[in-house]
Amino acid sequence: MPPFITVALCTHNHVDRIKRTLADLAQLQPPVKPWEFLVIDNGCADGTSELLAEMAWRPAGVAVRVVREENLGLSNARNRALQEAHGEYLLFMDDDETPDPAWLVVYEQAMLEHQPDALGGRIEVLFEDGERPDWLQDELLGFLGKLDHGEARWLTERTTPIFGGNFAFRLSVFDRIGNFDARLGRQGSANNGGEDTEIYRRLLEHGCRVRWVPGAIIQHRIQTPKLRRDYFLDLHFRQGRMEGARKRGNLSRVPPRYLVPQILRAYGQAIALRLKKGSAHSLRQEMNAAYFTGYVVGWMKDPI
């Protein structure tokens, strides 16, 4: 019998993280219908491939496949999952996450009851090996993947996206909306993003039915010693750079004048807040300044 759900995990050189993720699969409550577990080895060279070749981690009674994708990039790995999946629904998770035991069961119930085109679930942030830094304000947790849209409902607005660490699609929907944009998303150590919110916008533009499933909970494990302010700044610089190049299109590479006051305002607010309240309170404004800096650089230098 073909699986109803394909759970796909895409990984690149995170052997230290994926060990726990694979071990945590044993706690999952089995859904009613068959499911399969698909791992996309995205050019791993750190021992991940050898770990995946072992048998001990594989959940009992579940079809498991490991496929290697040499084209580096999270979107490339997800697109490979689209080709390889056998399920009616394709559910994505990341290699540094621990699903709630009822995760699969809750998703299956929502799929059977509502028959949506796509679904998203709640993501919590777990600081697994240290204390949360003082400068990491609540408003920044969304950039670490935290997501909560409240009660179960249909999502119809761009302001309520679903995130790649915990979203699912009816596999046939990609025939309508197209695959993941390979220009977006992490590529090796490059701190890119935006592929999940971009495909959510496409879902809405094509009139797809997107269901919010708050009971399908994932814990995104954060390795606290690796948290750095420059991670957030680099993320926004890169995002601005991509959007600046796209906005420019075929126009002149000379940035428009309206960007000048926006940049000055962003830097002014960041400096003022840092002087007034200290660095523990100014990072969000500094991220805005990094975004506008990247926007200008992308406008002037980058191809579309």
Q: Are 129 and 43 in contact (CB under 8 A)?
A: no
> What are the backbone dihedrals phi and psi of residue 101, each rounded to the nearest 5 degrees, phi first?
-55, -30
Q: What confidence tens digit (pLDDT) does each residue in 202-261 have?
A: 999 999 999 999 999 999 998 876 788 888 898 889 889 888 988 898 888 998 999 999
In the Cβ-directed half-sphere of 195, how many Cα atoms lie within 13 Å? 23
Q: What distance lies between CA 242 and its chain's CA centroid?
A: 17
| Averaged pLDDT for residues 79-100 | 96
- Exposed, middle or buried: residue 88 (CB in 10 Å: 0-12, 13-18, 19+)? middle
pLDDT over threshold 60, residue 191: no
List the one residue out of 194, 162, 175, 160 whose CA is nearest residue 74. Answer: 194
Question: In whole numbers, what is the pLDDT of the chain averaged over residues?
Answer: 91
**Please, which residues bridge with residue 66 across strands?**
39
What's the pTM value of the predicted model, to 2 decimals?
Answer: 0.85
Helix (H) or strand (E) holding 213: strand 210-222
Q: Encode pLDDT of 146-170 as tens digits.
A: 999 999 999 999 999 999 899 999 9
Q: Where are the domains of the chain?
A: 5-226, 229-301
Region 5-226: CATH code: 3.90.550.10
